[in-house]
Structure 1
């Protein structure tokens, strides 16, 4: 006789159980979460629908695996991590390229519309949102300058003196007049003392000037800011009056187009799977900090 397929009869009780459980979970999710409809709740638990299909029964391994993982009977975190990594690796290069191209296109559009000239000519600067009442750029510049003057320069001062003295000696030795007098006794020692003294005096004067320059001077800072504002205004006026502004804008647009063609389209080539995995770890770490 023929083989009897009684799987449908055997599977029917499980179909009823999973169907009732699916409807109950759908109702619970739609009432538990604000703004979630029945359809949204069903999509939320999309994998449970595979338990109700009378065909492609092998797909039931997906909801079974997910439920075992939810019950802590199976650790699939590594599988999920690799799956996400593979997905990100496939689309990250394209997404990066698209975002970079969109950014360059926006800059090109702004230049074509004359935003560069408008920015140079603007009389009132748009208010800048300061989060901590601190000018970070000025503070970083101040720290870098003070570190260089107070800590770095004193430690390398002997090397700078030796280099400057060497250059002075070379310049003097190449002088025809000195070559005629170089045979005089004691002249070489006098030259060494003279070049050493000059190098020390030059560096000390430079160091004193830097110390004086970085001292707090409200009047000097105000004059410097006024100089920058006047320079920007005059530069903007001159750029607007000259026909070269059109040429400059055209060259900038062409330069951005070349950057787009030569560099942006090959951004994805600079990353590998390990780089994307590190980026994912950084993203998760940032999200944890934000959620705390």
Structure 2
């Protein structure tokens, strides 16, 4: 692509302190851009930051743990006004209590239930009663967990976080595990005594922790501010840490610009920094990409010229053909409108008036005749003597053939006659050129009168006959054919071929290519 002219101009050198400041602000703007991208994607990607698991293929149970990443939800949830949902929090707490009870039951009870065999019969009876108490406690906790699951299914707390599909995933996994069509009945079956008697809790606990708990943990509740929108405190940190720095930098840039151009007003200086406006906007923060890239490029930290060339090529390829068609159609249609106008005689007569009355008191057309007449008649015409003799000699021979009873002139005689005629004409042209080269008021007046009469007679001829309408019709038809053929040819050729030709013309030749190859490739 062609490099813009403003990129070819050398930049004004700045002081070392200003260069350090510009680079520091550019880096700080890059940090802000990264934070803006993180903030804009935090809520949609909160599940990833919470679990720190990557699912490259969602259709397959393939999980890549990213434990090296920190748990950012504890720090950033308050910024977005996110809190744990009460129902999911109760469900997780209830599962933790049930898990501890079932683990204690699986280990054979606690306390006196694990006493040695030399105890009395009363001690054995006490251990048995403790074990029975643990079983009753776990049974009650399991019934409570079933109730919490049924309540979660009915209330669907995931709607508040915009993850309505999470509940469907939980229900599907419960149904698949229990082989039941009802998620509520599947939960009751999975936590029943009959199911746990044949399925050890160690296996069931793995299912609940790997398949159900990660989904339940994604539920959250987000508070609403006074304007009825979700709470977001990002603007406070952005204003304090970044936008204040950007405002100071913009002010310093305006001051530096006015020092370079003292006649520049404050308003015009601010308008020249219009590209920095997205840095100060509290909305549409993704637009900060443009000023951040501009600052990084100006500070010579990155080179965006290849990216600019690619984007420029894409934009030109999309718009060039349409823009060219519109401009060409406007030009042709405007020309047709002028041709169809009945004001041709008036326009032609205005040429005569323009010669007679001039603002600069100078007759341009007459002066052009005085300048070009001697040059054409005195210098150009004599050099064409051989060609004129050949044309005139051939014309004499052809004219004698057409005369009834005429004889054929010998070529030598025809050339001699032609030479005499041409020499007479050239002598006349030389003398005329000498006369035109001299200052003669009468000559100027005669030329002026000739030009005025010529334009008058031409306008009158167009008014009398049908030549004006016929000429207008023929010229408009010619332009219409031009629109239908040339523009259609451009469409068939496509703009890509033109862009490739432009690249060949503007891209410098490589060190191994022949000299001049880059400049002649387009030909």
What TM-score do the two structures reach when normalised by structure 2? 0.38
Q: How far 1:62 sits from its partner (Å)? A: 5.2
Asked if structure 1 preserves the Cα contact closer than 8 Å seen for 2:276 and 2:291, the reply is no
Q: Per the alignment, do residues 163 and 107 of structure 1 end up closer, same or farther by CA in structure 2, a change over 3 Å counting?
A: closer
Equivalent position to 2:432, from 210, 213, 224: 213
Q: Which runs of 5+ in 1 are unaligned?
A: 180-190, 282-292
Check whether the contact 1:26–1:42 (CA below 8 A) recurs between aligned residues: yes
Q: CA deviation at 1:79?
A: 3.9
Counterpart in the other structure of 1:198: 417
Q: What's 2:248 paired with?
A: 24
Specify the alignment match of 1:5 in structure 2. Answer: 72
Cα distance per residue 1:231-260 (max 9 Å; x no partner): 322332343344664555455444433433
Deviation at 1:19, TM superposition (A): 1.4
For 1:222, the equivalent position in structure 2 comes to 445
What is the CA distance between 1:196 and its match in structure 2? 5.0
2:343 alignment counterpart = 115
Cα distance in 2, alignment partners of residues 168 and 248 from structure 1: 35
Task: Provide the rounded CA distance (Å) in 2 between the counterparts of 1:89 and 1:128.
Answer: 48
Hey, what's the Cα distance between the residues in 1 that align with 2:354 and 2:490?
35
More helix by share: 1
1:263 aligns with 2:480: no
CA distance in 2, matches of 1:280, 1:144: 43
Q: 1:89 to 1:66 in 2, by over 3 A?
A: same
> TM-score when scaled to structure 1?
0.59
Contact 1:121–1:237 (8 Å) recurs in 2: no
Task: Return the structure number with greater relative CO, CA threshold 8 A, min gap 6.
Answer: 1
Q: 1:21 to 1:280 in 2, by over 3 A?
A: farther
1:92 maps to 320
1:71 corresponds, among 266, 276, 299, to 299
Distance in 2 (CA, whole Å) between partners of 1:118 and 1:166 is 43
What SS does the aligned partner of 2:354 have?
A: coil
Cα distance, 1:104 vs. partner?
3.0
1:72 aligns to what SS in structure 2? coil
State yes or no: 1:146 paired with 2:370. Answer: no
RMSD over aligned CA atoms reads 5.3
Contact 1:85 1:277 in 2 (8 A): no
Is the 2:397–2:414 Cα contact (8 Å) retained in structure 1? yes
Unaligned runs of 5+ in 2: 1-49, 53-70, 80-233, 259-263, 508-523
Deviations 1:136-177 (A, max 9, x none): 9965994597268526743x6456656766777899999999
Cα separation, partners in 2 of 1:210 and 1:55, compared to 1, 3 Å = closer
Q: Secondary structure at the match of 2:463?
A: helix
The answer as to whether partners of 1:164 and 1:199 remain within 8 angstroms in 2 is yes
- Is contact 2:366-2:448 (8 Å) kept? no
Q: Which residue number in structure 2 is paired with residue 45 of structure 1?
A: 276
Q: CA separation in 1, counterparts of 2:373 and 2:309?
A: 42
Asked if the contact 1:165/1:196 (under 8 Å) is kept, the reply is: yes
**Aligned 8 A contact 1:121 1:233 in 2:** yes
Work out which of the two has the higher radius of gyration on C-alpha atoms and give 1 or 2. Answer: 2
286, 308, 316: which one aligns with 1:80: 308
CA distance in 2, matches of 1:140, 1:274: 46
How many pairs align? 264
Cα 1:111–1:60, aligned 2, differ >3 Å: closer, same or farther? closer
Bigger shift: residues 89-98 or 160-169: 160-169
Cα distance in 2 between the residues matched to 1:198 and 1:260: 50
- Distance in structure 2 (CA, Å) of the matches to 1:114 and 1:205: 45
Q: Structure 2 CA distance, aligned partners of 1:124 and 1:107?
A: 24
